[in-house]
Amino acid sequence: MSVNPKLATLMRVIDDNQAKMTEGEYLEAMNALAALHREVPVQAPQAPPQQPAAPVPNGGRAAAPAADANRLFARQVLETMNGSVVELRAWERVIKNHPDPYYNRILAAQWMQIPYVERFRLVREAVEYLVNTSEIKHRTPEPSVCPFISRHAVGLWSVEDDGNKNWECVCGYIGKVKHWKKHEQSERHQDWAKHRTVSRRKIQNMKAAIHDDEAGSFIPFASYASNSVSNPERLYHGGIRMYPVWQDKNEWTHPELYADIHRTPKTAADGSTTWFVHRRELWARTYVQ
């Protein structure tokens, strides 16, 4: 504990003159000194002046130890949740995905004060909203929107961003969705259309993507561990299985769906062309308990 320097001087003077005092006078002086020490605020020693920070090259700003701060914050949050990783994952689901902005700002301590039934409801609502947005992002449009792309696309394609999203054609071309007509009429694609041959590896990749689409993607309510048999908590068991469409079926992945007459475009009276497509049958999401 720091001692006021003036009181330290008085203490030194009293000690130096202790031999000249009676025992009663010495004790009285020490008691008075102790009383003064309790009443007089102690001034903290001034910190030495800080040296100016070393300049950072190129006019940049010195990097803060963000990683250490994040680890400290994560540890504090986990301690607030009594060490429950499942609670941590549930809270993260809610603050990141719940449609109500109020719950996007809820603190870890507030989360633990909410009754369990209410927390579970918020988690389900957050995951429901997450699935709603994911189905839009991870699903190609209905094939009739652009039959040519649907019949020739490798992987995901979309018209949500005004056609600026890139797509890959089975012929090897990669370009913007809005330029599909120009590509169809290009010399490159027309030369490929004479044989319409696709590599075995590319066909296998497209089939694997369709298999994954049909298997679905499981979104747990809290975390991957919340459904584990080895997890003793099982606080937020269950989740939602959604069925994205990353890959459209075509004549190479499912040749039985396209007869020979469907493997070339139909020409209308005005000279325009169109491609035969099947109407997609979407699988409804399922709720896992």
146-190 pLDDT, tens digit each: 999 999 999 999 998 888 999 999 999 999 999 999 999 999 999
In a domain, 72, yes or no: no
Specify whether 15 is located in the same domain as 95. no
Question: pLDDT tens digits, residue range 106-160?
Answer: 999 999 999 999 999 999 999 999 999 999 889 999 999 999 999 999 999 999 8
Specify whether 27 is located in the same domain as 93. no
CA 141 to each of CA 14, 21, 152, 162, 163: distance values in angstroms, whole numbers, following the listed order: 93, 101, 14, 13, 12
Q: What are the phi and psi torsion angles at 172 (to 5°)?
A: 110, -10
Token readout for 218 is 């499981």
In a domain, 137, yes or no: yes
Specify whether 247 is located in the same domain as 109. yes
Domain carrying residue 31: 5-38
Question: pLDDT tens digits, residue range 20-74?
Answer: 665 556 555 555 555 454 444 434 444 445 555 555 555 555 555 666 776 776 7
Token readout for 201 is 């590896």
Specify whether 193 is located in the same domain as 285. yes
In a domain, 50, yes or no: no
In a domain, 215, yes or no: yes
Selection from 160, 252, 258, 166 nearest residue 202 by Cα: 252
Specify whether 161 is located in the same domain as 288. yes
Query: Tell me, what's the pLDDT at 79?
Result: 85
Specify whether 88 is located in the same domain as 32. no
Query: Tell me, what's the pLDDT at 181?
Result: 95
In a domain, 184, yes or no: yes
Q: What are the phi and psi torsion angles at 89 (to 5°)?
A: -65, -40
Distance of CA 3 to the CA centre of its chain: 53
Specify whether 226 is located in the same domain as 138. yes
In a domain, 25, yes or no: yes
In a domain, 19, yes or no: yes
- Fill in the amino acid letter for 243: Y
Please state, for a pLDDT cut of 90, what percent of the chain lies above it: 52
In a domain, 269, yes or no: yes
pTM: 0.67
Residue 259: pLDDT band with limits 50, 70, 90? very high
Specify whether 119 is located in the same domain as 258. yes
Specify whether 91 is located in the same domain as 34. no
Instruction: Quote the number of domains for the chain.
Output: 2
Specify whether 153 is located in the same domain as 12. no
CA-CA distance, 219 to 222, in Å (whole number)?
9
- Fill in the amino acid letter for 193: A
Token readout for 61 is 């700003």
Check whether 267 has a pLDDT greater than 80: yes
Helix (H) or strand (E) holding 168: strand 166-168
Token readout for 251 is 């004549």
Residue 206: pLDDT band with limits 50, 70, 90? very high
Quote the radius of gyration of the chain (alpha carbons, Å).
Answer: 36
Check whether 7 has a pLDDT greater than 90: no
Specify whether 10 is located in the same domain as 128. no
Specify whether 129 is located in the same domain as 246. yes
